[in-house]
Amino acid sequence: MEKKEKVQVANPKSSLGQALNPQTEQIKFTDLGLSKEALQAVTSMGFEEPTPIQAKTIPILLQGKDAIGQAQTGTGKTAAYGIPIVEKIDPRNFMVQAIILTPTRELAIQVAEEMNKIGRFRKIQAVPIYGGQSIERQIRSLRKGVQIVVGTPGRVIDHIERKTLRLNYIKIVVLDEADEMLDMGFVDDITTILKETPKE
């Protein structure tokens, strides 16, 4: 049986939610109302047409709505939420505006790499933060100014407690592989992190 990954996307500025069924008729990236920079990014990454999860998710997230999506591995799930994140971030503001929580360091690294590719032409930076790597190195990266943080819940809380990560400018929160994080017992950590994001 092919593994499926679930993504939950939470936008602190919206109470709207919509379940996603990735089955949709084929459309083009140019039909999605993306910026020139976003279209450059998807072309450079080798995407020719949106996958079903991308075609269904991107318009919903661009409207600022909440979404829960599930798709098979290899269907472009990260770009499905990553493209709208990059479109909504202000590249002139070097405060953290989006946070993506992942259950493992490996996924945090992978997602951060993907987000940097998506944000390349808008000069938007993502940094991974996770246990097992020098926290001082991560602090230096955060102090340089980044718009997106991708991290494991425990290490994100470490930075919040050290005041090396502030979430008061957060526009978008993503729980990547939300079901796995809950199975691993991260519910309290996730709740703690969400409380640090803006109420509005």
Distance CA 47, CA 43 (A): 6
Name the residue among 196, 137, 191, 124 with its Cα closest to residue 163.
196
DSSP 10: E
Number of domains in the chain: 1
CA dihedral 115, 116, 118, 124 (to 10 degrees): 110
**What are 156's strand-pairing partners?**
none
Decide if 75 is inside a domain. Answer: yes
| The three-state (H, E, C) secondary structure of 70-113, written as one string | EEECCCCHHHHHHHHHHHHCCCCCCCCCEEEECCCHHHHHHHHH
CA 8 to chain centre: 10
Per-residue pLDDT of the chain (200 residues; tens, 9 = 90+): 444 344 565 444 443 344 454 444 578 999 999 999 999 999 999 998 999 999 999 999 999 999 998 888 788 999 999 999 999 999 999 999 999 999 999 999 999 999 999 999 999 999 999 999 999 999 999 999 999 999 999 999 999 999 999 999 999 999 999 999 999 999 999 999 999 999 86
pLDDT at 16: 35
pLDDT at 199: 81
Tokens of 190: 């996730």
Tokens of 107: 């996924």
DSSP 19: B
Tokens of 11: 């936008």
Contact 70/94 with Cβ under 8 angstroms?
Answer: no
Domain with 14, as residue range(s), is 4-195
Decide if 190 is inside a domain. Answer: yes
Distance CA 69, CA 20 (A): 5
Distance CA 70, CA 88 (A): 22
pLDDT at 42: 95
Decide if 200 is inside a domain. Answer: no
Contact 188/129 with Cβ under 8 angstroms?
Answer: no
pLDDT at 18: 46
Q: What H or E segment, with its residue span, contains residue 176?
A: strand 172-176
CATH classification of the domain holding 175: 3.40.50.300
Decide if 34 is inside a domain. Answer: yes
pLDDT at 27: 87
